[in-house]
């Protein structure tokens, strides 16, 4: 659906008005956690087309790259690396791999500015949600990779019960959100320097098995579980990694020769060297030192 004021306000329903808030990034999360997401690598049939899309829709900037690789980021840090191989096949949605890359904006005001920009350009979006811990807009890039653009609520507003964080998928109060942009909002031109990959959501064949692997092998904490999905983090963030089997239940190891996820790079405050491991579905997880 195209993003317009009418469609956004219609989706808001009876959502309660939200106070103006700071983002979790400004509170020191998620990047201050012991382990966080650094960047994501994608395999693409047409890297130029994807790079143009991420520049246009997400606001990422080209930050170099060599040969068949295009690096994109916030002007300071590389957040996305796109590697081209024109012989690749487009990955089917039932295959294990990437569900979405979630780009965290520095503030709720930044999200409002992006929404105004998207409304003006009438971008097609897949969905919107108030997750209680954050507000999110969902898109799909030209090769079928999911993208989330979101802003966090303050960590002090998150509700924890017995180690589990409360989350939901409620309508967004867009009137309240857009009011944070002010009467003369600064036009959106590109992603602010503080934009990061806040979390990555993966498709797996068995969410319970994947959740156990992230805990036992990677040292993450389970912070929420729902039917067919597990959410995990370090340092008390609402989630750095999520795994689900909603489209990919029973999927086996991902074969070579397809577009989609190349790797997820984590940043650790303790890891002394670069480490690379693979989960049961062939997803490469790299760990680098901060």
What are the residue ranges in the chain where pLDDT is below 70? 1-29, 271-274
Cα distances (Å, whole numbers) of residue 23 to 17, 105, 155, 234: 17, 8, 8, 18
**pLDDT at site 65:** 85
On the question of a cis peptide bond just before residue 30, with omega within 30 degrees of 0, the verdict is: yes
What pLDDT was estimated at residue 32?
86
| Spatial distance between the Cα atoms of 239 and 98, rounded to a whole number of angstroms | 16
pLDDT tens profile 75-96: 999 999 999 999 999 999 999 9
Distances (CA, A) of 82 to 167, 192, 208, 265: 31, 20, 30, 13
Torsion of CA 22, 27, 32, 37, to 10 degrees: -10
Q: What pLDDT is recorded for position 31? A: 87
pLDDT value of residue 274: 67
Q: Would you state the pLDDT for residue 270? A: 85
Q: How much is the pTM? A: 0.91
């Amino acid at each position: 659906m195209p993003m317009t004021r009418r469609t956004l306000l219609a989706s808001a329903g009876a959502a309660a008005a939200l106070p103006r808030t700071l983002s979790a990034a400004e509170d020191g999360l998620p990047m201050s956690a012991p382990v966080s997401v650094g960047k994501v690598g994608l395999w693409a049939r047409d890297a130029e087309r994807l790079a143009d899309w991420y520049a246009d829709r997400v606001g990422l900037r080209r930050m170099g790259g060599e040969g068949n690789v295009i690096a994109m980021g916030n002007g300071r840090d590389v957040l996305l690396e796109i590697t081209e191989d024109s012989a690749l096949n487009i990955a089917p949605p039932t295959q294990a791999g990437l569900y979405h890359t979630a780009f965290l904006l520095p503030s709720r005001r930044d999200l409002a500015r992006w929404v105004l920009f998207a409304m003006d350009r009438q971008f097609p979006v897949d969905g919107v949600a108030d997750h209680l811990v954050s507000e999110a807009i969902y898109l799909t890039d030209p090769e079928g990779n999911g993208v989330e653009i979101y802003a966090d609520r303050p960590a002090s507003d998150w509700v924890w019960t017995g180690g589990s964080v409360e989350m939901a998928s409620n309508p967004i109060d867009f009137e309240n959100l857009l009011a944070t942009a002010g009467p003369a909002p600064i036009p959106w031109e590109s992603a602010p320097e503080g934009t990061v990959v806040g979390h990555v959501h993966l498709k797996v064949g068995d969410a319970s098995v994947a959740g156990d692997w992230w805990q036992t092998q990677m040292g993450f904490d389970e912070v929420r579980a729902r039917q067919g999905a597990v959410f995990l983090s370090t340092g008390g963030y609402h989630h750095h990694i999520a795994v689900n089997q909603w489209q990919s239940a029973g999927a086996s190891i991902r074969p070579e020769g397809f577009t989609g996820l190349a790797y997820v790079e984590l940043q650790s405050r303790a890891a002394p060297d670069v480490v690379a491991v693979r989960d049961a579905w062939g997803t490469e997880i790299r760990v680098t030192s901060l």
